[in-house]
Structure 1
């Protein structure tokens, strides 16, 4: 049930603006940049190993991905980082990512957050800040329209 609620938050949300967070409470709750990095160190290997997401990451430099995700989440959490990677829309435009692919990534992120002891409220805080990105990452029509 928690996965469904969080996936809906990510996929259905239109109320969140993509402006920097007003405070660093999520950053602090995650343990700062080191805490975010620890989650990403757990998350990236899971993405590569999971058969639902592995095809999207087969040719990716894992260390660079971990570094970029750390910077991005640090910034989104209200930390002192500045994400300097490519815009999400540009990175994902040719990958034909469906909602179910995105949901799988969210599920894996939840596993990593749980594994690293991120409190539930801090998990939800981060997911709420990341929610607007789904519009730039999901690039394919719905699963039912594609017969998938």
Structure 2
């Protein structure tokens, strides 16, 4: 009878241990304050970007700001929860083109550069966001 009890104890102990969350990107981006500055910089860049500014005229920018902060925080491994719609749902019917998407990415990169985010950290964030591209373009 001792073997099943020992096995159960080992199994429960293994289940209780969560793998360590990798928050190194979150830290490299400046944690929540840094991510907030990056998002706000991106939105300011979009406001000055004639290629895509019209796409954002009728959008609740405060809500977009908050959801982007949540999303970037989650993607960076931070202690956040994303409460927005899926990317597919958010962009449904908007017919976002490749050039629109690329312009937004350029505005994001410029915001990260302005905040002094190292290029490796920029690339890590972009790599984590890249899979969403297919959910956004021409939906």
Q: Give the equivalent residue in structure 2 for 1:24.
A: 23
Q: Give the equivalent residue in structure 2 for 1:110.
A: 109
Displaced runs of 4+ in structure 1, greater than 2 A? none
Assess if the C-alpha contact under 8 Å between 1:23 and 1:78 holds in 2.
Answer: yes
CA distance in 2, matches of 1:83, 1:35: 17
What is the TM-score when the length of structure 1 is the normalising length? 0.77
For structure 1, the residue ranges without an aligned partner over 5 or more in a row are 1-21, 141-148
Assess if the C-alpha contact under 8 Å between 1:26 and 1:125 holds in 2.
Answer: yes
Q: Give the equivalent residue in structure 2 for 1:129.
A: 128
Q: Give the equivalent residue in structure 1 for 2:55.
A: 56
Deviations 1:58-97 (A, max 9, x none): 0112221111100100000000011100111011111111
Q: Give the equivalent residue in structure 2 for 1:72.
A: 71
Q: Give the equivalent residue in structure 2 for 1:145.
A: none
CA distance in 2, matches of 1:70, 1:79: 11
Q: CA deviation at 1:135?
A: 0.6
For structure 2, the residue ranges without an aligned partner over 5 or more in a row are 1-20
Assess if the C-alpha contact under 8 Å between 1:47 and 1:53 holds in 2.
Answer: yes
Structure with the bigger RCO (C-alpha within 8 Å, sep 6+) is 1
Q: Per the alignment, in what secondary structure is the counterpart of residue 118 of structure 1?
A: coil
Deviates more, 1:31-40 or 1:54-63: 54-63
CA distance in 1, matches of 2:47, 2:55: 8
Q: CA deviation at 1:24?
A: 1.2
Assess if the C-alpha contact under 8 Å between 1:25 and 1:78 holds in 2.
Answer: yes
2:90 aligned with 1:94: no
